[in-house]
Amino acid sequence: MKRWAAALSVVACCLNATAQPDPRRSGFDDMSPQTQAMQRDDMQNPAMLTVQDGAALWERAPSASAKACSGCHGTAATSMRGVATRYPAFDNTLKKPIDLSQRINQCRERRQQSAPFAPESAELLALESYVALQSRGMPIAPPADPRLQAPRARGEALYRQRIGQLDLSCAQCHDERAGGRLGGSLIPQGHANGYPLYRLEWQAVGSLQRRLRNCMNGVRAEVPGYGAPEFVELALYLAWRDRGMKLESPAVRP
Amino acid sequence: MARTLLTVPPTAKRGEVIELRTLIAHIMETGFRPDANGQVKPRDLITRFTCRFNGELVCSAELYPAVAANPYLSFTMLATESGTLSFSWEGDNGFSQSESVVLTVT
């Protein structure tokens, strides 16, 4: 009997070893070699210019009476390591999930007593990319907070909901038709593992919300404003869908 | 002041060909695009780039509206002696930026 158990465990080990490879492909894998080279080399990646701005903002106090980010958090390389992999996360005060940019703005309002940055502003993107950079290469690890269950489920429903005049859901392109082509361009699997990222089409750094708004606009749907709960819920589901994938922020995408 | 990223090897052997790479943050607005209100955005370009080594011209380039935002330029140079590399970018609306890097040749 014991021998059987041992044999079974050996079989189980073999089964684990030959487990299916991860079918998920980062957008990086589907880019042209030239664009991949841009992302690999920090001296070619234009998002690193934004990161430099972020590093300067991290050290600069917004007013004479307020501390800089570094005044509380110290060196970002240690204090912010892994932080970006856990967002969106549940906020106890607001009693709702918030994403990383909202967290930065919240800190700015509450701790630094300063006006929050406008969504998608250069400053906010700079700080967000600087914080996200500290988690580069780490696996995306959405928190197992039970309070995130309901919003995540709403995010997933939104992901599968047909929207707009073209009557398309996110899932129809990025799950069912990923790898195919839309016009001349390849349809990626839509993993949000590199935001904020430098998009060649934008010629600028942008957030996940900007990308989502782009897609919604593309299917001619009504686009919610920046910071709308729908975006955070979608981001929650996307983080769950991408769990374990490596964070590439600040990535480059075509 | 625009942000720049310069890749210059800190040391080089005499006679070695070294690669210099520059990236600068700039919107490179063409002057042809309308904004959200339909008004044409005024042109804002970097028009000229120069790289000098101890005052001697290494590479210069003229940039036009077809160049993408955040221009990236790379070129090579023969390392003959130690000295200072100076990079400068000039453009519309009085845009001007210069950076310098010390190169040690052994």
B40 interfacial to chain A (CB closer than 8 Å): no
For B6, the closest chain A residue by CA position comes to A43
Question: Given an 8 Å threshold on Cβ–Cβ distance, is A200 in contact with B68?
Answer: yes
Rounded distance between C-alpha atoms, residue B49 and residue A197, angstroms: 27
Average pLDDT, chain A: 91
| Alpha carbon distances (Å) from A8 to A11, A16, A30, B80, B84 | 5, 12, 40, 69, 69
Q: Find tokens 């998920």 and name the residue.
A: A24
> What domains can you pick out in chain A, each with its CATH number?
29-254 (1.10.760.10)
What torsion do the CA atoms of A81, A85, A88, A90 make, to the nearest 10 degrees?
-70
Check residue A88 and give its pLDDT: 95
Q: What is the pLDDT averaged over residues A129-141?
A: 96
Better-predicted residue by pLDDT, A8 or A62: A62
Q: What is the pLDDT averaged over residues A68-78?
A: 94
pLDDT digits (tens, 9 = 90+) for A174-216: 999 999 999 889 999 999 999 999 999 999 999 999 999 999 9
By Cβ distance, the residue of A42, A44, A50 closest to B72 is: A44
Question: Given an 8 Å threshold on Cβ–Cβ distance, is A46 in contact with B21?
Answer: no
pLDDT digits (tens, 9 = 90+) for B11-30: 999 999 999 999 999 999 99
Which residues are CB-contacts of A76 (< 8 A; sequence separation ≥ 6)? A55, A58, A69, A70, A130, A131, A134
For B69, the closest chain A residue by CA position comes to A203
Check residue B1 and give its pLDDT: 79
Element holding B1 (H helix, E strand):
none
Q: Find tokens 């967290």 and name the residue.
A: A103
pLDDT digits (tens, 9 = 90+) for A26-48: 999 999 999 999 999 999 999 99
Check residue A4 and give its pLDDT: 53
Question: Given an 8 Å threshold on Cβ–Cβ distance, is B7 in contact with A43?
Answer: yes
- The yes-or-no verdict on residue A13 having pLDDT over 80 is no
Check residue A18 and give its pLDDT: 55
Query: What confidence category does residue A234 fall into, taking pLDDT thresholds of 50, 70 and 90?
Result: very high
Check residue A3 and give its pLDDT: 54
Query: What confidence category does residue A14 fall into, taking pLDDT thresholds of 50, 70 and 90?
Result: very low
Check residue A11 and give its pLDDT: 46
Rounded distance between C-alpha atoms, residue A83 and residue A133, angstroms: 10
Domain boundaries, chain B: 4-105
- The yes-or-no verdict on residue A9 having pLDDT over 80 is no
Check residue B68 and give its pLDDT: 93
Pull the structure tokens for residue A85: 């992999």
Contacts with A43 from chain B: Cβ below 8 Å: 5-7, 21, 23
Residue B11 · residue B70 · CB < 8 Å:
no
Rounded distance between C-alpha atoms, residue A60 and residue A66, angstroms: 10
Question: Which of A33-64 are b and which e, b meaning 16 or more Cβ less than 10 Å from the residue's Cβ?
Answer: eebeebbeeeebbbbbbbbbbbbebbeeebee
CA atoms within 13 A on the CB side of A131: 27
Which residues are CB-contacts of B25 (< 8 A; sequence separation ≥ 6)? A46, A49, A50, B2, B3, B4, B70
Pull the structure tokens for residue B29: 């607005």
pLDDT digits (tens, 9 = 90+) for A139-172: 999 999 999 999 999 999 999 999 999 999 999 9
So what CATH class is B4-105? mainly beta
Check residue A1 and give its pLDDT: 47
User: Could you say which residues of chain B have pLDDT below 50?
Assistant: none
Mutation target for A interface from B3, B19, B87: give the one with most A CBs within 10 A: B3
DSSP result, chain A: -HHHHHHHHHHHHHHHHTPPPP----GGGGS-HHHHHHHH-TTT-THHHHHHHHHHHHHS-SSSSSPPHHHHH--HHHHTTTTGGG-SEEETTTTEEE-HHHHHHHHHHHTS--PPPPTT-HHHHHHHHHHHHTTTTSBP-----GGGHHHHHHHHHHHHS-BTTTTB-HHIIIIISTTSEETTEE-------S-SEEETTTTEEE-HHHHHHHHHHHTTPPPPPTT-HHHHHHHHHHHHHTTTSBP--S-EE-
pLDDT digits (tens, 9 = 90+) for A97-131: 999 999 999 999 999 999 999 999 999 999 999 99
By Cβ distance, the residue of B21, B68, B70 closest to A49 is: B70
* pTM to 2 decimal places: 0.89
Rounded distance between C-alpha atoms, residue A128 and residue A133, angstroms: 8
Rounded distance between C-alpha atoms, residue A124 and residue A53, angstroms: 10
Question: Given an 8 Å threshold on Cβ–Cβ distance, is A52 in contact with B3?
Answer: yes
Rounded distance between C-alpha atoms, residue A71 and residue A53, angstroms: 17
Burial zone of A222 (CB within 10 Å; 0-12 exposed, 13-18 middle, 19+ buried): exposed
